[in-house]
A and B are shown apart, each in its own frame.
Chain A
Amino acid sequence: GENVEQHPSTLSVQEGDSAVIKCTYSDSASNYFPWYKQELGKGPQLIIDIRSNVGEKKDQRIAVTLNKTAKHFSLHITETQPEDSAVYFCAASSGPVPGRRALTFGSGTRLQVQP
């Protein structure tokens, strides 16, 4: 099955700096790569996703890049703000069974933005 590794496990940056979180996946058939933000006591919330036919996607201060050859993808947050502090999860879709589309998650990155 799919295996997703995520680094770093914790990341501390100063407000206004950029933050980068990296993930690698094992299944070359995976074709959907979402990033989720989880605030304390809440469920994960999708912040951006990318499909395997796209190399980069941006949404305001966040961007995701995908390298299919190397099987890795990254989340970039620019101009970080204290409200960006949360746990971020990458994931890859693994679903040889039609309709399953379950997600395999990375272990998470705790991002702390220091004011």
Chain B
Amino acid sequence: NAGVTQTPKFRVLKTGQSMTLLCAQDMNHEYMYWYRQDPGMGLRLIHYSVGEGTTAKGEVPDGYNVSRLKKQNFLLGLESAAPSQTSVYFCASRPGTNEQFFGPGTRLTVL
């Protein structure tokens, strides 16, 4: 099993550009999450999904959209990137238990 994978690993955007981050898991987990990690602030929840076809807002959802068309994939979209969205983005998934499994992260820089 590959676990949780994220694509791409690194990306540099200009202000106003759009992009999509892909998270994939092969563990058949129902729940998936997108977090952002900023220096000195830990990880903050952006959006989450409790199953295929469902999404919900987390703590810091503004400027992001998500989709969960397939159970194994959770996409995070930035429609118009801003410098404040420069961060490291982590995807996580979990089964019915509490433990969350994290991907390796995507480092995004918005100039």
Q: Give residues in A with beta carbon < 8 Å to B.
A: 1, 4, 6, 9, 32, 34, 36, 41-46, 49, 51, 89, 93, 97, 99-108
Contacts and interface: CB of A to CB of B under 8 A. Distances in A.
Contact of B99 (A34, A41, A106): A34
B98 A93 contact: yes
Interface of B: 4, 30-31, 33, 40-45, 48, 50, 56, 58-59, 90, 92, 94, 98-105
Nearest to A44: B102
A26 to B, nearest CB: 14
A34 B42 CA distance: 14
Given A97-B56, A105-B44, 15 more contacts: A34-B99, A42-B104, A43-B104, A44-B90, A45-B102, A51-B98, A93-B98, A100-B50, A101-B94, A102-B45, A102-B48, A102-B59, A103-B45, A107-B40, A107-B41
B55 to A, nearest CB: 12
Contacts of A100: 48, 50, 56
A101 B102 CA distance: 15
B89 to A, nearest CB: 10
